[in-house]
Amino acid sequence: MLRSLFFLLVLSLVFSCSKGPSQVDPMIAEAGGHVGAYSSVKFSSDFDPVCKMSLLQGIADTLVLDGKVLGFCTDNCRKRFRAQPSLYGF
Ligand SMILES: [Zn+2]
C-alpha cells in the first residue's frame, strides 16, 4: 500500500514536470529509476564527485555539504567522500 502510494507520488511529480515550465533539468525528469525520486532535488553537480559517474544513471544516496546537495551512485562512494571531502575538491 505504502509502496504504491509512493509510486503514484513519483508518477504525479514526473507528470507535473512534463506539463508546463519547471526548474527541474529535463534530462533528470526523463530518467527513470532512482533519479525520478530525486527529480525535485536541486543537485549542485550532475555527477558523483567520487567516481564522476553521471547522476542520470542512478542515485543511491545524497549528502548535504555547505548547503550543496551532492548525489552518489552508491553508499560506498558517499562513505569515501565523507571520510575525506578535500580529496574531491570540497
Ligand atoms: Zn560513485
pLDDT on residue 40 = 86
Q: What is 52-77 written as a DSSP string?
A: --BGGG---EEEEETTEEEEESSHHH
* Residue 14: CA count within 13 A, CB half-sphere: 18
**Residues with C-beta atoms within 5 A of ion ligand 1:** 48, 50-51, 53, 73, 77
Q: What is the pLDDT of residue 38?
A: 84
Cβ neighbours of residue 28 under 8 Å, at least 6 residues apart? 35, 38, 39, 46, 55, 56
| Distance from residue 1's CA to the centre of ligand 1 (Å) | 32
Q: For residue 89, how far is its CA from the centre of ligand 1 (angstroms)? A: 15
For the whole model, what pTM was predicted? 0.60
**Centre of ligand 1 from the C-alpha of residue 47, in Å:** 8
More confident residue, 58 or 9: 58
Q: How confident is the model at residue 6 (pLDDT cuts 50, 70, 90)?
A: low
Q: How far is CA 45 from CA 30, 49, 72, in A?
A: 17, 8, 11
Q: Give the SS3 label for residue 47.
A: strand
pLDDT in tens, 26-40: 554 444 445 677 888
